[in-house]
Structure formats: C-alpha cells, structure tokens
Amino acid sequence: MDTLEFDLFDRRLAQALMIDGRAAFSRLATVLETTDQTVIRHYRRLHGAGLLRVLGLPVGSRVGLFESRLRIRCVPGAALAIAEALARRPDTGWVKVYSGGTEVGCLVSSRTREDHETLLLQKLPRTQQVTGVSAHNLLHRYTSSLGHWLGPAELSEQQIRALQLPAASHDDTVRLDDSDHAMLSVLARDGRAGYPELAKATGRSESTVRRRLEYLRGHGALFFEVEILPVHLGYQTEAALALTVPPSDLAEVGRALADHPQVPFVAATTGTTNLAATVLCKDQHALYRYMTEGIGTLKSVHQLEVVPVLRHLKRAGLLSDGSRLSDPPR
C-alpha cells in the first residue's frame, strides 16, 4: 500500500487520535470542523484496511510491570523464526529483526518477576539457536507516551489544545486486579472498544468500567497509541540507535533527541550505552543527513551505534505484517 491511501483528512484524523485515542467521534468532528459521518467513514476505512489502529496500553512503570529491552543474537538464518516466536508471546512488543539477520530486538513487559526471570534466565538461554542475550532496563523515557506524529503538523495549535487532556498525576503505583487485566486485554486489541464490550469482558457495569478507565488514564497508568506503519506516510527507513553520553549531559541530550521529529522513542537505559532511540527517515540519504546534521550537533554524544531495522514482526500490540508464526521456543 502506498502513501496515497492517506489523504489530507486521514492525516488530520490520525494526528487527532494521537492526541486523544478515545475521543468520541462527535468530539473529533467538532474539532476537525466536519460531520460525525465523515469522521466515522474515514476511521472505518483506515481501520478496516489495516492502515490505522488505536491501542490501549499500560504504562509499565506505573502498574508494576517488569520491563526489559532485549537484543538477542542468533546463529545465521535463525533470527526470523526466533522473532516470530517472541511475537506470539503476550508479554512482548516491538519485535524486530535488525539488518544483517542475526539479531532480534524486542521489549518484554512481564506481570511478575518470576515470569520475567524465566524468559531471560531459562527460556532464551536454552534456545539452541540463541548465541547471546543482553537485557537493559528503561530508566526514563523522554518521548511522550501520547504518540508521535510523523511529518508536518496537520492540526492548528487551537485544535491540538481542544483535544488535549489534563496532565495525568503520577503518585503511587497503580494496582491492577483481574478485571483491570481483562479490560486491558481488550484495549490492547482495540483501544476504541465500546463500554458494553469492556463491561462484558470484565464482569463490571458499563458505568464502573468507564470510571475505572478514566481513573487509570488520569493516573498515568494507561495510554492510547495510534499505530500507523511508517511506510504509509512515506518513511522507508528505520534504525535503532545506541548512544553513549556523559551522565551529567544525559537528560539534556535525551530531551534534545525527543524534540527531533524523526525520533518517536528515546529513553535512558542501563548497559554499556546509556541512551536508546528509534529513528524514522524517508530513505537512507535522510538517515545519513540526520546522523550528521541532527545527532552531529549534539557535542555530548561520545559514541553512536546505528542498527537498521530489516523487518518488523510486531509493533506496540499487534502483528504488523500478517506472517504465519511458529510456536514459541520451549
């Protein structure tokens, strides 16, 4: 599918959903100065064609998840099968094969420490075709969890303000119960699932589900992400960045990278490098230009590793390419 499948209104709608993924169609119509029917028609077309998904995802650090960013080294020819197996797991996101075909990257978010340790200390090391695993904790995320719009803004500042929600509070860790997990399971597949569907999944009333969802969101425990394949907006090249920065300059460089439109994700991490980022560019030349003119202006960056992404098997919450997946390693 090419970029022509996103017209101007599609891009405006996508940007609006990135600001508030659960905004009512009527509210979106008011802000976008059109009719409810127009918004619904465009949304259904994009969603039905697999061009756009809204996902409701927990914020790991706010709900007590055990998260690690993994780089898994494999014997030649094994990376795709291992990536497919990881993509089948409910606790993984952003599963990708890096250029060269011998390394897999993913994010693991486990509900318990035991599950996390079992994967890292037993399952992956015992997989014969895995030659090494590095796991790093995400210490601080500099990019917003409200999504990242690619390209020039289609909405005015007034429209953006009209859609923005009050800042979430970040007090104590939010405790999730079984009903919360059941609701999150539905939202991870469809962030715009209706309250009747959420009520049925949780065994709660619609009013209770509505209040609980608003509570989780208002306390920074739940966010809604719009998933669009970058290629549909003209972005052909993706790479993972690993940067080394002096600790005294870490926050400044992290915030600077988060302000770059090419960077949808940047976080401070543990490990031999202390910043991890994702960069999206139109093509290889644009990636070179970003390295020299974007990162090159950040004098505190002492070391930079650029690892092109060869293929995505899973993005934030759903399989992105329709592959038939093999069983996970046992």
Q: Helix (H, G, I), strand (E, B), or coil: what is residue 238?
A: strand
What tens digit of pLDDT does each residue of 280-323 get? 999 999 999 999 999 999 999 999 999 999 998 988 764 333 33
The residues, ordered by sequence, that sit 6+ positions from 33 with a Cβ below 8 Å of its Cβ are none
Q: Is residue 119 part of a domain?
A: yes
Residues 66 and 116 in one domain: yes
Residues 200 and 242 in one domain: no
Residues 249 and 306 in one domain: yes
Q: Write out the residue range of the structural domain in which residue 241 sits.
A: 234-310
Do the strands 275-281 and 265-269 form a parallel or antiparallel pair, or are they unpaired? antiparallel
Give the side-chain half-sphere CA count within 13 A for 320: 21
Give the side-chain half-sphere CA count within 13 A for 157: 0
Pair of tokens at residue 96: 């990708």
pLDDT for 326 equals 36
Pair of tokens at residue 2: 């090419």
Confidence of residue 2 (pLDDT cuts 50, 70, 90): very low
Largest CA distance in the chain: 57
Cα separations in angstroms, 4 against 96, 155, 283, 322: 26, 19, 18, 21
Q: Is residue 148 part of a domain?
A: no
What tens digit of pLDDT does each residue of 176-226 get? 999 999 999 999 889 999 999 999 999 999 999 999 999 999 999 999 988
CATH number at residue 267: 3.30.70.920
What tens digit of pLDDT does each residue of 99-152 get? 888 999 999 988 889 999 999 888 998 898 999 999 999 898 898 654 566 666
| pLDDT above 70 (res 329) | no
Q: Is residue 131 part of a domain?
A: yes
Residue position matching structure tokens 């202006």 = 297
Residues 243 and 213 in one domain: no
Residue position matching structure tokens 């949780």 = 202
Residues 75 and 136 in one domain: yes
pLDDT for 330 equals 32
CATH number at residue 194: 1.10.10.10
Give mean pLDDT, residues 76-87: 94
DSSP secondary structure, 39-93, as one string: HHHHHHHHHHTTS-EEEEEE-HHHHT-EEEEEEEEE-TT-HHHHHHHHHHSTTEE
pLDDT for 221 equals 93
Which amino acid is located at 140 in the chain?
H
Domain count, the chain: 3
Cα distance between residue 247 and residue 224, in whole Å:
31
Q: Helix (H, G, I), strand (E, B), or coil: what is residue 142?
A: coil
Q: Is residue 92 part of a domain?
A: yes
pLDDT for 268 equals 95
Q: Is residue 30 part of a domain?
A: no
What tens digit of pLDDT does each residue of 27-56 get? 999 999 999 999 999 999 999 988 899 999
Residues 136 and 110 in one domain: yes
Q: Is residue 298 part of a domain?
A: yes
